[in-house]
């Protein structure tokens, strides 16, 4: 468990950036295998998140709002929603999920899109 609030916040920002970027690159029409990979990833991500109390809270959110993995839109929208749940818990403003569009561009082009998931 990280004791320092500044370090915890930095870890959070870096992690959210990565988490939302994964969703933004998830296939628009994933195969069953890709859906299962994302679902497993999300549960393991939660379980292994380095801040123990955060991991515990996040796993509670997950059991209430299971991962949506049917498409890129579903996954991105779900991730935005669950981040907003964490925002609410921490008294942070709600993020407008209709603004997700280009926000999480990984700068990696479209060429390797089919290899993702």
Distance (Å, rounded) from C-alpha 5 to C-alpha 59?
20
Segment interacting with ligand FAD (CB under 6 A) among 25-33, 36-44, 78-86, 109-117:
78-86
* Under rule CB under 6 A, residue 78 binds ligand FAD: no
Could you tell me the smallest distance in angstroms from the CB atom of residue 107 to ligand FAD? 17
- Exposed, middle or buried by CB within 10 Å (0-12, 13-18, 19+), for 19? middle
Taking the complex as a whole, the smallest distance from the CB of residue 55 to ligand FAD amounts, in Å, to 7
3-state secondary structure of 96: coil
Tokens representing residue 6 in the block:
């500044």
Applying CB under 6 A, among 2, 57, 59, 62 the residue interacting with ligand FAD is 57
Closer Cβ to ligand FAD, 69 or 80, answer by number: 80
Q: Which of 37, 59, 74, 86 binds ligand FAD (CB under 6 A)?
A: 86
Angstrom distance (rounded) from CA 69 to CA 79: 10
Q: What's the rounded Cα separation, in Å, for the pair 29 and 84?
A: 25
| Three-class secondary structure of residue 71 per DSSP | coil
Of 26 and 58, the one with the shorter C-beta distance to ligand FAD is 58
How many residues make contact with ligand FAD (CB under 6 A)?
20
């Amino acid at each position: 468990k990280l004791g320092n609030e500044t370090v915890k916040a930095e870890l959070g920002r870096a992690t959210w950036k990565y988490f939302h970027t994964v969703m933004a690159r998830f296939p628009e029409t994933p195969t069953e295998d890709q859906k299962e990979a994302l679902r497993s990833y999300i549960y393991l991500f939660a379980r292994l998140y380095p801040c123990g109390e955060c991991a515990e809270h996040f796993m509670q959110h997950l059991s209430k709002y299971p991962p949506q993995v049917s498409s890129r839109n579903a996954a991105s929208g779900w991730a935005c929603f669950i981040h907003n749940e964490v925002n609410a818990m921490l008294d942070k403003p709600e993020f407008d999920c209709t603004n997700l569009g280009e926000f999480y561009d990984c700068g990696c082009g479209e060429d390797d899109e089919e290899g993702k998931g």
